[in-house]
A = this chain, B = another copy of it.
Amino acid sequence: MRKPRIVVLGAGYGGLMTVTRLQKQLGTNEAEVILINKNDYHYETTWLHEASAGTLHHDRVRYDVKDVVNTSKVNFLQTTVDDIKVEEKKVITSQGEVEFDYLVIALGAESETFGIQGLHEHAFMISNVNSARQIREHIELQFATYKNEEVPKDERLTIVVGGAGFTGIEFLGELGNRVPELCKEYDIDRSKVRIVCVEAAPMILPGFDPELVKYARATLEKKGVEFHIGTPLKEAKAGSVLIAKSEDEVEEIKAGTIVWAAGVRGNRVIEKAGIENMRARVKINRDLRVPGHDNIFIIGDCSLMINEETERPYPPTAQIAMQQGEVCARNIAALLHGKDDLEEFTPDIKGTVCSLGENDAIGVVYGKKLTGTKASFMKKVVDNRALYMVGGPSLVFKKGKFKFF
């Protein structure tokens, strides 16, 4: 008799958590586990703003899949997922088809541009290791070029960040620290550099405590960030953005670097597969399965769950993806063991910390508001915990953040 085959798509927070738990919970004879991922490494999506700003090397934000996956129990296949044939129980990859009995879709998010013209062509997105280091190098080349052109163009030194949500603010915090270093490196006066944040919503960090938001804004302004809040970005062009100052007034800001950090959506494969979705996110059952598909789980940023207290969806976070991974693994094991009553998932939000650059942050942890070095310390604890959950103490030792003060 053929062993049932579990295929996990994606080695992000959710996928790796599922696989590392499955390899503990299942005997080798119980099931075949296949993990499919584009790269041979996992990266910490929540650290990419640092790699993008150049404050943390990109090798610090990634580790080999094989460092945490037991390859005697799990087959790792490095390839790209192109499509999923739900009814035929097949995954189509660049290297061929893979059949499954159970499927876990943990493909993560993509950037959402909301149809804003020119973003795809002219803006960078903080999406993965490749895009992060391209942003870092692009900014650095702007500074280097400024000092070597016959007529220096000040706009080269302007960095526009679209979005004042979590990623936008964390990236601005890192830029605030990085820009003085770049100025020193390239003999440039700090006053020549502009860091501009453009946000359509009427506030930064929506959903955060107002007192903490105030602290964050003041901190970033002290680092030289200019905020244009309640100001939609209308268009990105080669070397500039158009922002709507009011209904009739459009302002052009010339900028050597445009980074779009304002929205995420699920993975396009979801849409291609024909699973019912909203911006490629699927409203899953409480047991993490796709309605009508008892053998397909979706976790992480491609899943959509409603917080019944607020009647709004839970945000796509690493914390939730990892918790889902644990429940997903247990539910698959239960199915294999012939059980029918699967565990229902409820997020256990321990807290949220938003970094404002090395040594500063804001956050709410176990209901307590934190700012400054205390919050920054907690941010590092959160970051190290994610490593610990997937790879245990040895991974924390290898990739953890220990420069606490």
User: Residues of A with Cβ closer than 8 Å to B?
Assistant: 130-131, 133-134, 136-138, 140-141, 143-145, 147-148, 186
Contact = CB atoms under 8 A, between A and B. Distances in A.
25 contacts: A130-B144, A130-B147, A130-B148, A131-B148, A133-B144, A133-B147, A133-B148, A133-B186, A134-B141, A134-B144, A134-B145, A134-B147, A134-B148, A136-B144, A137-B137, A137-B140, A137-B141, A137-B143, A137-B144, A137-B145, A138-B141, A138-B144, A140-B140, A140-B141, A141-B141
Main SS class of interface, A: helix
A204 to B, nearest CB: 28
Contacts of A130: 144, 147-148
Contacts of A141: 134, 137-138, 140-141
A63 B134 CA distance: 31
Contacts of A133: 144, 147-148, 186
What are the 3 closest A-B residue pairs judged by CB atoms, nearest first?
Answer: A130-B148, A137-B144, A137-B141
Nearest to A143: B137
Nearest to A140: B137
A154 B214 CA distance: 48
Given A133-B147, A137-B143, 8 more contacts: A130-B147, A130-B148, A133-B144, A133-B186, A137-B144, A138-B141, A140-B141, A141-B141
A362 to B, nearest CB: 31
A152 to B, nearest CB: 10
**Chain multiplicity (copies):** 2
Contacts of A137: 137, 140-141, 143-145
A140 B137 CA distance: 7
A141 B134 CA distance: 6
Nearest to A131: B148
A156 to B, nearest CB: 12
Contacts of A147: 130, 133-134
A140 B186 CA distance: 16
Nearest to A138: B141
Nearest to A127: B148
Contacts of A131: 148
A148 B141 CA distance: 16
A137 B256 CA distance: 15
A176 to B, nearest CB: 21
A138 B136 CA distance: 12
A405 B179 CA distance: 37
A148 B125 CA distance: 11
Contacts of A148: 130-131, 133-134
Interface centre among A137, A140, A145 (most CB of B within 10 A): A137
Contacts of A134: 141, 144-145, 147-148
Contacts of A138: 141, 144
A138 to B, nearest CB: 6
A390 B140 CA distance: 32
A141 B54 CA distance: 13
A134 B145 CA distance: 6
A143 B134 CA distance: 9
A136 B134 CA distance: 14
A186 B39 CA distance: 13
